[in-house]
């Protein structure tokens, strides 16, 4: 769990809540901090802010705090919180909107490996129109430099016929590529920092 520095000023952006409600389709203002989402979250230990803290920080306009948090990348989209929330809020939508914003702005430092996984998946689908696991893992390894992690698991999957050796293309992959490019444009996102990775959904070279 992250402990905030006591004397560090955090700038609030009051219009952030409107942007988030619009992007996620959820009225984040309705959250009254009962904490049921946090109590049921199965990946809480991996997070630096709890799900309810993310909601409160967003209500307070703490854009940087939320977008730079690890929590938004850790969310597994399991919907436990959505099922428990007495206000009917679907936090998966909120987390997805936040990762889209963070991704568009190249703010991936809190969880670089999860972001690298996202980018490798999108690159693969952007080229082929569908996923190709071996290609995606290859891209991921190039990005993370962890070449030998999960080799045993990969061999097991391969032996069971779960991994195709060769990629398959779908008809209309150009259309899929265009949709990805469109989908990655996020209204209200700031320009990525010059050093930020390219998340534009371009085909890998």
Interacting residues with ligand SF4 (CB under 6 A): 31-37, 40-41, 43, 51-52, 55, 75-81, 84-87, 89, 91-92, 95
- What's the min distance (Å) between Cβ of 152 and ligand SF4? 27
Closest distance of CB 62 from ligand SF4, Å:
16
Question: In terms of CB distance, is 79 or 190 closer to ligand SF4?
Answer: 79
The kind and range of the H/E element at 99 are: helix 91-104
Rounded to the nearest whole angstrom, what is the least distance from the CB of residue 40 to ligand SF4 in the complex?
Answer: 6
The two three-digit tokens of residue 189, written as one number: 């996102």
C-alpha separations of 161 from 118, 157, 158, 164 in Å: 24, 6, 5, 7
Q: Which is nearer to ligand SF4, 40 or 197 (CB)?
A: 40
- Cβ nearer to ligand SF4, comparing 39 with 134: 39
Q: Please give the C-alpha separations between residue 10 and each of 57, 60, 64, 93, in angstroms, as whole numbers.
A: 11, 11, 8, 25
Q: For tokens 């203002």, name the residue.
A: 29
The angle at the Cα of 118, spanning 101 to 92, to the nearest 5 degrees, equals 55
Smaller CB distance to ligand SF4: residue 36 or 181? 36
Minimum distance, C-beta of residue 22 to ligand SF4, in the bound complex (Å): 18
């Amino acid at each position: 769990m992250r402990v905030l520095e006591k004397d560090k000023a955090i700038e609030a952006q009051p219009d952030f809540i409107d942007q988030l409600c619009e992007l996620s389709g959820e009225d984040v203002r309705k959250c009254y901090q009962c904490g049921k989402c946090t109590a049921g979250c199965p990946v809480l230990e991996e997070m630096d802010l709890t799900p309810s803290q993310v909601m409160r920080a967003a209500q307070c306009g703490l854009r940087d705090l939320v977008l730079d948090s690890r929590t938004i990348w850790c969310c597994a989209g399991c919907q436990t919180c959505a099922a428990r929330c007495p206000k009917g809020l679907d936090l998966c939508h909120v987390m997805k909107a936040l990762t889209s914003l963070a991704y568009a702005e190249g703010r991936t430092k809190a969880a670089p490996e999860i972001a690298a996984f996202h980018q490798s998946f999108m690159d693969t689908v952007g080229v082929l129109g569908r996923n190709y696991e071996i290609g995606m893992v290859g891209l991921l390894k190039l990005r993370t430099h962890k070449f030998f992690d999960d080799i045993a698991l990969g061999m097991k999957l391969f032996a069971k016929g779960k991994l195709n050796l060769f990629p398959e293309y779908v008809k209309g992959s150009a259309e899929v590529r265009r949709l990805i490019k469109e989908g990655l444009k996020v209204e209200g996102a700031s320009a990525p920092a010059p050093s930020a990775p390219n998340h534009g959904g371009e085909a890998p070279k």
